[in-house]
Amino acid sequence: MALIVHKYGGTSVGTTERIKNVARRIAKWSRAGHQIVVVVSAMSGETNRLIGLAKELQAEPDPRELDVIASTGEQVTIGLLAMALKSIGIRARSYTGAQVRVLTDSAFTKARIVAIDEARIRADLDAGQVVVVAGFQGQDEHGNITTLGRGGSDTSAVALAAALRADECLIYTDVDGVYTTDPRIVPEAQRLRTVTFEEMLEMASLGSKVLQIRSVEFAGKYRVRLRVLSSLTDADMPLEEEADSGTLITFEEDTQMEQAAISGIAFTRDEAKITLTGVPDRPGIAYQILGPVADANVDVDMIIQNTGADGLTDFSFTVHRNEYAKAMDLLNGPLKAHIGARAVLGDTRICKVSVVGIGMRSHVGIASLMFRTLSEEGINIQMISTSEIKISCVIEDKYMELAVRALHKAFGLEQSVGA
C-alpha cells in the first residue's frame, strides 16, 4: 500500500462527465489498496471568470477580496468530485485549503505555503477515506483566505505530498507529460520520459506552465517523487501502465543517460521591458533604481546595463506584465528626477524565448546556434541572459512562435527521444 497524491487540473475536471472519469480513475487506485489524497483545480475557465467578475467592480481588485472570490472555483470542484466518488461506492470527503490548515503567508494572490497540519487528512486516510482537497488556496495566520498564484494547485499537491511524506505525487493534466516545448505551439514537440529537477525548474520559471514553479521547488527541496501524466486516457487502463506513463522528474545524480545539449524550449509573453535612458553612470545607480522597485514588491527578471563613452548609461530590466503599470508609475514619479534619467520608456510588446538543458554544461556552441537561428529568421535580440543550463533572449513578441519553431528544429528536438 502506498500513499499517493493525485492532482487534476482545470481541463481534467472541466465538465461533470470528466469529473466522473476522474472518479473512476481514483477508484481504480483506491481499490488497488492505495491511500489517495486528491487535489483539484477549478473547472477550466472558472478562475478567469471569477477574476473577470472582480474586475468588473474594481479595475485593480482589492487583493484580499480577490482571493475570497478566486478561491471559490476549487470549492465547487471538490464537492462535485467527492459526490462522484461516493456515487460509485468510494468513501470520500472534501476539504477547502483552510479546513486542512494549509497555512500561508499573507501575500494575497501569490501567497507561499508555510506549513500544513496533516493530522486531519491522515485520520481520514486511516479511516479508509479518499481525501479531496481544494488546490490553489490556504489561509494566513489571521484566518484570511489566500491563493497561491495562477497554476497554484500544482504547488498545493506537492506541498501536501511533502507534508504527508507521500510515495509519489501524480500531476494529471491535459497533455501526457512534459514536452520539448509546448505542443500547442510546436506539434512536432516530443514527450520527455524524464527531465531533471533543475531543467524543470528553469522551464517552469521561463514560462512552461505545465507545472507551477513553486511546485517544482517544493518537490526538489523535499524530494517528492513527481510525475506529469494525462488525465484524458482511458480511466480503466491498467494501473501499472498508468503508473509508468508520462514524464518523471528526476534528480540529476540519478540520471545516467548521455544528455542531449538541449532538453526543451520555454517561452513567455508575461514580461514587459522598462528602460531608463541617459542615466548618469555612478556607483549605486542600480540600487537607486531597483531598490524602490523591490520595496514596492515588484519582481525584476532580466537586467541590462552598459556604459556609454559619455558616462551615461541606458538601464533596462523586465518585470511581470501584471506589475508593469505599478513599476512605470513608480519610476515616472519623483524617482526619475532623483536618478537623473532622461526618459523612462516602457515596452509591453516583448517576449522571452529560452533554451534549457543540463547538457549545456558539456556541449559548446549552444549560444551561437541560438543566435544564428534567430538571425537567420531576421529576429532582433533585445536582451540576453544566461545561466549554466539556460540561455534566454528577449525579442519582439510577434516573432515568438516563429522563434520557438525555428529553435526547436535547429536543436534537433523533433528527433529527441527523451532521456
Q: Which of 8, 29, 95, 136 binds ligand ASP (CB under 6 A)?
A: 136
x/- letters, 178..197, toward ligand ADP (CB under 6 A): xx-xx-x-------------
Residue 179 binds which of ligand ADP, Mg ion, ligand ASP, none (CB < 5-8 A, kind-dependent) = ligand ADP
The residue at minimum Cβ distance from ligand ADP is: 9
Q: Using an 8 Å Cβ cutoff, are 352 and 206 in contact?
A: yes
Give the side-chain half-sphere CA count within 13 A for 182: 18
Stretch that binds ligand ASP, among 145-153, 230-238, 277-285, 306-314 (CB under 6 A): 145-153
* 24 or 209: CB nearest Mg ion: 209
Binding of ligand ASP at residue 47 (CB under 6 A)? yes
Looking at the Cβ atoms of 9 and 14, the one nearer to Mg ion is 9
> Cα 17–182–371 angle (5° rounding)?
175
Candidates 61, 73, 138, 151: give the one binding Mg ion (CB under 5 A). Answer: 151
Q: Which is nearer to ligand ADP, 109 or 208 (CB)?
A: 208
Q: How far is the CB of 19 from Mg ion (least distance, A)?
A: 17
CA atoms of 330 and 233, how far apart (whole Å): 49
- Nearest-approach distance from CB 14 to ligand ASP, in angstroms: 11
Rule CB under 6 A: say whether 10 interacts with ligand ASP: yes
Sheet strand arrangement including 130-134: 92-95, 130-134, 35-40, 3-8, 168-173, 226-230, 247-250, 194-196
Rounded distance between C-alpha atoms, residue 132 and residue 148, angstroms: 18
Using the rule CB under 6 A, give the single segment among 17-25, 52-60, 207-215, 232-240 that binds ligand ADP.
207-215
Residue type, 279: V
CB 215 within 8 A of CB 136: no
Cα torsion through 335, 338, 340, 343, rounded to 10: 20
Does 150 contact ligand ASP by CB under 6 A? yes
Inter-CA distances, 273 with 299, 318, 331, 360, Å: 12, 4, 13, 27
207: contact with ligand ASP by CB under 6 A: no
Q: What angle do CA 207, 210, 213 make, to 5 degrees?
A: 60
Non-local CB neighbours of 45 within 8 Å, separated by 6+ positions: 10, 14
Q: Map residue 330 onto helix, strand or coil.
A: helix
When asked if residue 210 is in the footprint of ligand ADP (CB under 6 A), the reply is yes
14 touches ligand ASP by CB under 6 A: no
CA nearest neighbour of 398 among 240, 267, 295: 267
Q: Does 135 bind ligand ADP (CB under 6 A)?
A: no
What is the rounded CA–CA span in Å between residue 134 and residue 401?
Answer: 34
Residue closer to ligand ADP (CB basis): 95 or 179? 179
Looking only at residues 86 through 125 of this chain, which bind ligand ADP when binding is defined by CB under 6 A?
A: none
Q: In what order do the strands lie in the sheet with 137-139?
A: 113-116, 102-104, 137-139, 145-147
173 binds ligand ADP per the rule CB under 6 A: yes
Binding residues for ligand ADP restricted to 261-280, rule: CB under 6 A? 264
Strands (E), 96-167: 102-104, 113-116, 130-134, 137-139, 145-147
Q: Applying CB under 6 A, which of residues 42, 125, 339, 350 lies at the interface with ligand ASP?
A: 42
Contact with ligand ASP (CB under 6 A) among 21, 41, 173, 354: 41
Residue 73 binds ligand ASP, judged by CB under 6 A? yes
Query: Which residues, at least 6 apart from 371, have a Cβ–Cβ distance to it below 8 Å?
Result: 381, 393
Kindly tell me which residue out of 4, 5, 6, 10 binds ligand ADP, with binding defined by CB under 6 A. 10
Nearer to ligand ASP, 135 or 359 (CB): 135
Question: Largest Cα–Cα distance of the chain, in whole Å?
Answer: 77
Give the footprint of ligand ASP on this chain (CB under 6 A).
9-10, 41-42, 47, 73, 135-136, 150-154
Give the footprint of ligand ADP on this chain (CB under 6 A).
9-12, 41, 151, 173-175, 178-179, 181-182, 184, 208-210, 264
